[in-house]
Structure 1
Amino acid sequence: MTSRQQSIKEAVREIESYVSTFGWDGPVRIFALIRSADALADHPELANELPADVSLEAASSPEAFFSVEQEELPPADSIDHLLSQIAWPESVAGAAISCERITLPPEAENDIPDDEAEAEKFLASDPRREDVRMVVGIARTGESWCALRLRSHDHDDEVLQSKDLVPELVEALRTTFE
């Protein structure tokens, strides 16, 4: 794994850990990833705000990221619509998104009602459902990392991780840099 891939992995891990502190049923969250060395050079006082387990040397690495949560996201009826409204300035070296979804096994697909309101009730009450939180990050240079937490296995040591765990979301986030 390259140092840049390791940096995006670490940023996603930190964001997933941060988002998990708010519990489940949270909103979609978007984060800008800023090169920490650039941020520290422009704002040296940030060094005083580093967590105790992060050294100034590690934070100053040319590949390391700081994440900055974006507040007041534009209204959108889907993640694709939300991401289509986002464009990053050159100073942003990457981005990440956190969102939650309900999944069902494939055999449940035929049981979902066509009516939207009935489908929501069905999804909320079906015992086969699984709540999933996904955090996906991508560097402007293309490296990506994904973390997936299941509500039924809501423990830090059970978070699934891979560079391509949620390929559709990776690709959707990538379009914010085009």
Structure 2
Amino acid sequence: MTDDSPAPQTTADPAQRALADAVREIEHHVAAAGWDAPVRVFALVRTQAALAAEPGLAAQLTPEVLAAAAAEPWHLTSIEQEELPGAPDLESLLAGLTWPESVDGAAVTVERIVLPPAAEQHVPDDEAAALEYLLTHPERQDVRLAVGVLRGGAAWCAVRTRANDADDAVGHGPDLVPGLVAAVRSTLA
């Protein structure tokens, strides 16, 4: 995956920078497929280690990615996980995932509907009525969340709204979605 938008501002920590770049690239890749997408899960591995373990991977990577990996030991490659196990919700899916030690981190993308706090107070208790309320509320915002976490603890989030669906309008930061960060982090325990 490649992305020409500017890298988000991060700390001087190389792992944090690499994670921020990986999450930005994942979000951009998922955004290219449009909205109303299912949950997507990615393993994050250090590109140098992946190339050492699987030399044939070099043929699948662009020269720019290979050069970046050679220059930066923390450069990460994302590997989308196909055929995710069935789960009734995101929390159950993440609770059932574990990663081998060769995986340095994990990332997930998910779409959600958010309402202003005042509107959330009026969500009906009935599940069907609550869904109808969310889908028809005039102040609803559709958002795509991309969250990545490394085994060492670093986290990075990207948030895109459907109303401002542009690469330069994506919010970035280490703790924008703390609950989802914690859930993805638990898959690495």
TM-score interval for Structure 1 and Structure 2 normalised by the shorter chain: over 0.9
| Equivalent residues in 2 for 1:55-70, closer than 5 Å | 55-60=65-70, 61-70=72-81
Structure 1, 28-37 or 108-117: larger mean CA deviation: 108-117
Distance in structure 2 (CA, Å) of the matches to 1:133 and 1:55: 25
| Equivalent residues in 2 for 1:3-18, closer than 5 Å | 3-18=14-29
Sort the Cα spacing of 1:55 and 1:75 in 2 relative to 1 into closer, same or farther, 3 A. Answer: closer
* 1:102 is aligned to 2:124: no
**CA displacement, residues 47-100 of structure 1 (integer Å, 9 cap, x when unaligned):** 232236x24231233201110011111111222211110110000000000001
Matched residue type, 2:92? H
Give the alignment partner of residue 86 of structure 1, picking from 74, 93, 97. Answer: 97
- The offset of 1:44, in angstroms, is 2.7
TM-score, normalised on structure 2? 0.89
* 1:45 is aligned to 2:56: yes
Distance in structure 1 (CA, Å) of the matches to 2:159 and 2:127: 26
RMSD, aligned CA? 1.3
Structure 1, 3-12 or 119-128: larger mean CA deviation: 119-128
The aligned counterpart of 2:35 is 24
Distance in structure 2 (CA, Å) of the matches to 1:148 and 1:110: 23
**CA displacement, residues 80-122 of structure 1 (integer Å, 9 cap, x when unaligned):** 2111101100000000000010000111123322221121112
- The offset of 1:42, in angstroms, is 2.4
2:58 is paired with a residue whose SS is helix
* 1:125 is aligned to 2:125: no
Distance in structure 1 (CA, Å) of the matches to 2:80 and 2:146: 13
Distance in structure 2 (CA, Å) of the matches to 1:42 and 1:84: 28
Give the alignment partner of residue 149 of structure 2, picking from 129, 138, 144. Answer: 138
2:121 is paired with a residue whose SS is helix
Distance in structure 1 (CA, Å) of the matches to 2:78 and 2:112: 23
Distance in structure 2 (CA, Å) of the matches to 1:114 and 1:89: 40
1:72 is paired with a residue whose SS is coil
- The offset of 1:34, in angstroms, is 1.1
- The offset of 1:46, in angstroms, is 2.4
Matched residue type, 1:158? A
Distance in structure 2 (CA, Å) of the matches to 1:67 and 1:29: 12
TM-score, normalised on structure 1? 0.94
* 1:114 is aligned to 2:114: no
